[in-house]
């Protein structure tokens, strides 16, 4: 845990290759399907990805009440298909105050891909009804999406 305790980690294993999980993180059309917690949606036209170190991304989550939640960040490290490190916040956030997310992808022991997601800068825990639970819900959708992709049900 970092010095101020504001960090959490979620580890998931997906029945998909690292290339497929990488695509889910980096292809705007695929990311739009799962880049939000339950009850929200991300319009595909809102997703912009400039996938390179120093590049940026943005998207807008829309809640069930129609409230918009714009999100943006910058890529600090892009190492296909193993690692993404990026800031994650709202437009106008101070860079020094913006959480940093690290996504590491590795071959799982029994096949598939193990994803280690770490968010630095915000505390989280299971059942917090906040960021930890929101990301957990998004990863549930990601798992379903990867299953559909493997069956050829999504493009």
pLDDT in tens, 52-63: 999 999 999 999
DSSP letter, residue 17: -
pLDDT band of residue 153 (cuts 50, 70, 90) is: low
Sole residue written with tokens 């120093």: 54
Number of domains in the chain: 1
Domain with residue 33: its CATH number is: 3.30.530.20
Average pLDDT over residues 88-98: 91
Inside any domain, residue 2 = no
**pLDDT of amino acid 151:** 64
- Is 101 inside any structural domain? yes
- pLDDT, position 155: 46
Please check whether residue 132 lies inside any domain of the structure.
Answer: yes
d(CA 110, CA 29) in angstroms, rounded, equals 29
Residue 1 lies in a domain: no
Q: Is residue 63 in some structural domain?
A: yes
What are the Cα distances from residue 71, in Å, to 37, 48, 108, 149?
13, 11, 30, 26
121 located within any domain: yes
| Mean confidence (pLDDT) of the chain | 92
141 assigned to some structural domain: yes
Q: In degrees rounded to 5, what are phi and psi of residue 21? A: -70, -40
CA 106 to chain CA centroid, Å, is 16
**pLDDT over 50 (residue 65):** yes
pLDDT at 73 over 60: yes
Is 118 among the domain residues? yes
Residue with tokens 């939000």: 36
pTM here?
A: 0.91
Domain boundaries, position 108: 7-150
Please list the alpha-helical segments (H only) found in the chain.
18-26, 28-34, 131-150
Q: Is the pLDDT of residue 91 over 60?
A: yes
What region, left, alpha or beta, does residue 5 occupy, with left being phi > 0 and alpha being psi -120 to 50 degrees? Answer: left
Mean pLDDT of 123-137: 93
pLDDT recorded at residue 96: 83
């Amino acid at each position: 845990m970092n010095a101020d305790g504001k960090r959490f980690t979620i580890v998931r294993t997906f029945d998909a290759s690292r290339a497929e999980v990488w695509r889910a993180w980096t292809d705007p059309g695929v990311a739009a399907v799962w880049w939000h917690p339950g009850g929200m949606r991300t319009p595909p036209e809102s997703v912009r990805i400039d996938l390179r170190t120093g590049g940026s991304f943005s998207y807008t989550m829309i809640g069930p009440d129609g409230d918009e939640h714009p999100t943006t960040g910058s890529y600090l490290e892009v190492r296909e298909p193993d690692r993404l490190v990026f800031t994650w916040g709202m437009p106008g956030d101070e860079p020094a105050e913006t959480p940093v997310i690290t996504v590491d992808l590795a071959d799982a022991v029994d096949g598939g891909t193990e994803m280690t997601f770490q968010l630095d800068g915000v505390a989280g825990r299971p059942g917090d009804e906040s960021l930890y639970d929101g990301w957990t819900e998004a990863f549930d959708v990601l798992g379903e999406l990867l299953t559909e992709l493997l069956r050829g049900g999504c493009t």
